[in-house]
Amino acid sequence: MPSQIESIDQQRIDQLKLLMGDKFLGFTDLFVSQLNQRIDILELAIGEDKADSILQAHSIKGSAANMGASKLVSIVKQLETMLEKDDIEGAANLLLEIKDELDIVKDVLIYK
């Protein structure tokens, strides 16, 4: 399992905390909630709707980048490539890794 240090750009999190103050935890909750929704939509779209699956992956990647979740960004980039190449099995397997990484990111954001 990847270490938590690899998962998050701490400098980015510190910037967000400074900018948002006491609203940071609410922002974190919103981030996790929206990513979970997009992952659910992505899971349904893989193999059924190539354009929507790529769109969902791209949105996940952007949200993760904004939050400093650098490892998640890297994994989702791989997913986008698989989706573009119609590697449905690889994409489905990578989706499991994305879910695991989101759990790590959530833990880091909540407990740091």
The model's pLDDT over 51-107, given as tens digits with 9 standing for 90+, comes to 999 999 999 999 999 999 999 999 999 999 999 999 999 999 999 999 999 999 988
- C-alpha span between 34 and 69 (Å, rounded): 14
CATH of the domain at 91: 1.20.120.160
**Per the structure, how many domains does the chain have?**
1
Listed residue (25, 24, 15, 3) closest to 71, CA to CA: 3
- Token pair for 85: 């190449």
Q: Tell whether the model's pLDDT for residue 45 goes beyond 60.
A: yes
Domain span at residue 91 reads 4-111
Q: State pLDDT tens for residues 16-31.
A: 999 999 999 899 999 9
- C-alpha span between 112 and 107 (Å, rounded): 8
- The distance of Cα 99 from the centroid of its chain, to the nearest Å, equals 8
> pTM for the whole thing?
0.88
Task: Tell me the three state secondary structure of residue 2.
Answer: coil
Tell me which residue has tokens 């779209």: 45
Q: Which residue type sits at 12?
A: R
Residue 76 phi/psi, 5° resolution? -70, -30
